[in-house]
Structure 1
Amino acid sequence: MLGGLRAAWRVVSPVLSTVSGFGWAVLGFSLVFLIVGLEFGWREFLVIACVGLAAEVIAIGFAVGRSAYAVRLDLASERVVVGERAVGRITVSNTSARTLLPARIELPVGASLAGFPLPRLAPGQEHDDLFGIPTTRRQVITVGPVRSVRGDPLGLMRRELRWTDAVDLYVHPRTVRLEGSASGFIKDLEGLASRDLSNNDVSFHALREYVPGDDRRYIHWKTTARTGTLMVRQFEETRRSHLALALSTNTADYASDDEFELAVSACGSLGIQALMEERDVTVMVQGATLHSETGRRLLDDLSAIEEEEKRETIVQLSKVAGQTVPDASVAVLLFGGPVTPTQLQAASVHLPLGVRVVGVSCQPGTEPMRRQIGDMTLLTIGDIGQLPAALRRVNN
């Protein structure tokens, strides 16, 4: 019994779903007017009921019909920079042997909905529609899925069919190229010897007595012959540049959305430059570490981050950065105008000794500045185009 009801519901459900909320309301009122008109003999009510029921029957004719489409959704590029034009195309073709009646194509674009009229299509005929997507702000926009809609002009019936999957459009932050001495601060510690001793590196430190397990390739035979004791070379580990970027996403660290967007752009510029130079990069925000294997993945993640009210301030973020990347050679903290010098001093304390600390305060419209707060070099920029010159000041 239950199995039969389920099977019947599977058949009836798609049919019932084509009736819109307005259609159900019209149908309900029409039935009420019909019953009242028959009960009391009120012709006016009977006329209204007949008109409503007739409209429902006519609406069915608009909703029925074959929909044998082949639909393709194409974006000219799935990744654009803020302000660039994003263009896409919908191609619909009739794959049946019969002419298909006009319909409507709907395309969700983020929170908006775009509609395109689809004309009558002969067998094998194609129809193209081009569309543009505004990219005035950094974000990830879900485009699609494409669906065809059949229905009547009154909106009593609405039949939807989905034809494609959704596609993500990444609107990347604006970045600038850091060339010459502007990127030099990333390289400053490359190849410098640390105080950590190693048994195999390129920076020779001293000789010591051989112990079981040492690599015999590093035995110093001349000293061994002179002393009569096996002696091996010991090295100092050399430091490879590792850039740690800590971008605050706490709304309390920014006076406006523009400050946050500038900080995201600066973070992307620094990360991309380091990756181009084949440096190690770690990018962190409160509660997450972004993908930084490639520039594309980093910019994709930066496209999706948003400001949020968080308990973790720039101080806690700096502490997490010090624990997550203890071998960093350069740490850059990125934030907005409300962050105070006291907070920056507290933040720099949580980073390991020997790490070069740079703070980037993003305040649109201000003149670039450089000053020292304890061990931290603080840069203030008012536009992403000022970042290369500001970094050159760090090296000077």
Structure 2
Amino acid sequence: MGLYSIWPFLIALIVCVGLVAFVLRMRNPKITTLIVAPIFLYLVSAILGSAQLYFMGTMLLGICIVAFFFAHFSLRGITVERTATTPVARGDQVEVRVEVTNRDRLPKLFVRVRCPMPEWLRAEQETVAIAGLWPGQRSTVRVYARALKRGRYALPPVEVVGADPLDLFQRLARFRAPQEVVVHPTPEAAPSLELLGDDLLGTVAPRRVMRPGHGLDFHGLREYRPGDDVRAIDWKATARLSRLITIEFEPTQVGDLVILLDNREKLQIGTGPNSTLERAISLAAGAAAAVLEGRGSVHLRALGDGAATTVSAAAGDMRVLMDALAGIRAEEGSLQALVPEDVRGRTVLLVTPSAGPEVVATVRQATAGGGQAVALLLDRAAWTEERPASGIGRYFRRDAAADGDAESMAAMLHDAGARALVVGRNGLSREHAMRVWEEMAS
């Protein structure tokens, strides 16, 4: 008879121990306190025979139960829509708008919205709280991030967290709202690029287009007009005549430009926005912007999925080219595969971090086809303290042929009949980039 009288207490003790173990695994101090406290009160009341302690324990346990069901239904009927500003330039601010709508009949309180961001979109604050959503009400949450690197970024799912008034229990829901943010590279004029002459702008091409007022030869002086480049102002003439006087240059010829962007993975050095690949893409964007501004045409060739891909753009199509440059990644492939079959009458611009023999072979292949070759050689010595941008090779791999001297390679290319310029890692022409973006916007 004694065994039958004690077994309910044994079962209750086992259930309490299991419940305590489960609560402790949740690692929530509030829940632990509110569940362990009623169990303790029940045990004490059973020993002392106090009805008040039973009542107090039941009240605490009731609070936990009500809070659990409140949190369980806190996200029912919630819908999420997301939009983002795209495309943007590197360094600009990205605005992500999340619209949260309550389509349930009950109000939703204490809702938190979190917008996780990719690595190179640095958010000021990812989580925003919404005090309450009444039935049918829509609330807009804005999250701002800084684009630190060009690329195409797929935004992760939006996380919405619902909770009870005491924040004891939480419910997490992820809403997949597909959204891609395109970050364009910064168009950069290479140092002393103008010294290469008009060859860079495609004057070898038989079909030529006039690019008025942007040459290198002095033409004359005239009064400043709104929109003129302030760098062309003649300050001596301005001081003498007491009005703004600008220098006018002879028009430049612009034709076809073929850009060969060397994005082979084994050559890339550096990480993030300071890698050789990012520098090469910025240089390619600057050269393309100069040609398209002069109403020429640009053909960009780079490696994609192991083969050469081509993106062509004419005057007014800068957006198309910038979108293509934003999506370029380091790939495996051959440099000579980038040279198109027909380069007659075109200027071929090679942007590469390599100083190996394949560069000379590529330049000779371009010139043999009837084109004019120009090479921008990224000085790998400026990135020697960095490691390759991706893959296990960032720890072990180096391409021996690419570790040559860029200055020596430039001399070899000159002997082969090509123009060559060695480019370091310093300096982005922000003024030039802003001018390009203003022209794109207009």
- TM-score (structure 2 length as normaliser): 0.56
Q: Could you tell me how far apart the structure 2 residues matched to 1:175 and 1:62 are?
A: 50
Deviations 1:312-353 (A, max 9, x none): 3xxx32344132x444611111111x423x332222222233
Structure 1 match to 2:70? 61
SS of the equivalent of 1:101 reads: strand
1:305-384 correspondence runs (5 A): 305-308=328-331, 310=332, 312=333, 316-323=334-341, 325-327=342-344, 329-336=346-353, 338-340=354-356, 342-351=357-366, 352-363=368-379, 371=411, 372-382=414-424, 383=426
For the structure 1 residues 388 and 245, does the alpha-carbon distance in structure 2 shift closer, same or farther, using more than 3 Å as the test?
Answer: farther
More displaced stretch, 107-116 vs 327-336:
107-116
Alignment match, 1:253:
267
For 2:16, the equivalent position in structure 1 comes to: 47
Name the CA shift for 1:291/1:67 in 2 (closer, same or farther; >3 Å): farther
Larger mean Cα displacement after TM superposition, 106-115 or 299-308: 106-115
Q: Which residue of 2 aligns with 1:84?
A: 92
Cα distance in 2 between the residues matched to 1:329 and 1:38: 94
Kept in 1: contact 2:159–2:172 (CA 8 A): no
Q: Note the 1:1-396 alignment, pairs <5 A.
A: 41=10, 43-50=12-19, 52=22, 59-65=68-74, 67-69=76-78, 71-75=80-84, 77-94=85-102, 98-110=106-118, 114-123=126-135, 125-150=137-162, 158-160=171-173, 162=175, 165-176=177-188, 184-185=198-199, 186-191=201-206, 241-257=255-271, 258-286=275-303, 287-293=307-313, 294-308=317-331, 310=332, 312=333, 316-323=334-341, 325-327=342-344, 329-336=346-353, 338-340=354-356, 342-351=357-366, 352-363=368-379, 371=411, 372-382=414-424, 383=426, 385=428
Task: Determine the C-alpha separation between the residues in 2 that align with 1:48 and 1:57.
Answer: 22
Report the AA paired with residue 297 of structure 1: V
For the residue of structure 2 that corresponds to 1:102, the secondary structure is: strand
Tell me how large the CA RMSD over aligned residues is. 4.0
Instruction: Indicate how the Cα distance of structure 1 residues 125 and 319 shifts in structure 2: closer, same or farther if over 3 A, else same.
Output: closer
Query: Quick check: 1:248–1:317 contact (8 Å CA) kept in 2?
Result: yes
Please say which of residues 183-192 and 375-384 is displaced more in the overlay. 183-192
Deviations 1:29-74 (A, max 9, x none): xxxxxxxx97993654221335559778853431214644564434
SS in 2 for 1:278: coil
How many angstroms apart in 1 are the aligned matches of 2:19 and 2:337? 74
Tell me if the contact between 1:381 and 1:387 (Cα under 8 Å) persists in the aligned partners: no
2: CA distance, partners of 1:38 / 1:300: 73
Deviations 1:269-298 (A, max 9, x none): 122332333323221112232433322122
User: 1:106–1:388: structure 2 CA closer, same or farther, 3 Å change rule?
Assistant: closer
* Cα distance in 2, alignment partners of residues 355 and 74 from structure 1: 45
| Aligned counterparts of 1:94 and 1:386: Cα–Cα separation in 2 | 48
Runs of 4+ in 1 over 6 A off after TM superposition: 37-40, 53-57, 177-183, 386-389
Q: Which runs of 5+ in 1 are unaligned?
A: 1-36, 194-239, 390-396
In 2: Cα distance, 1:376 partner to 1:189 partner:
13
Contact 1:182–1:388 (Cα < 8 Å) also in 2? no
* 2:204 match: secondary structure: coil
| Percent identical | 17
**Alignment CA distance shift 1:180-1:376 (3 Å):** closer
How far does residue 84 in structure 1 lie from its aligned partner after superposition?
A: 1.8
Q: How many residues align?
A: 295
Check conservation: 1:318, 1:333, Cα contact below 8 A.
no
Alpha carbons of structure 1 residues 380 and 120: separation in structure 2 relative to 1, 3 Å: same
Displacement after TM superposition at 1:132 (Å): 1.6
In structure 2, what residue type is equivalent to 1:299?
M
Q: CA deviation at 1:260?
A: 1.7
Q: Kindly tell me: are residues 379 and 127 of structure 1, through their superposed partners in 2, closer, same or farther at Cα, counting changes over 3 Å?
A: same
Distance in 2 of aligned mates of 1:172 and 1:91: 26
How far apart are the structure 1 equivalents of 2:66 and 2:18?
Answer: 12
* Deviation of the 1:97 alpha carbon: 5.7
Decide whether the 8 Å contact of 1:364 with 1:381 is kept in 2: no
| 1:320 to 1:136, Cα distance in 2 relative to 1, 3 A | closer
Query: Structure 2 vs 1, CA of residues 191 and 105 (structure 1 numbering), >3 Å: closer, same or farther?
Result: same
Please give the TM-score of this superposition, normalised by the length of structure 1.
Answer: 0.61
> C-alpha separation between the residues in 2 aligned to 1:283 and 1:49?
66
Amino acid at match of 1:188: T
Q: Distance in 1 between matches of 2:345 and 2:187?
A: 23
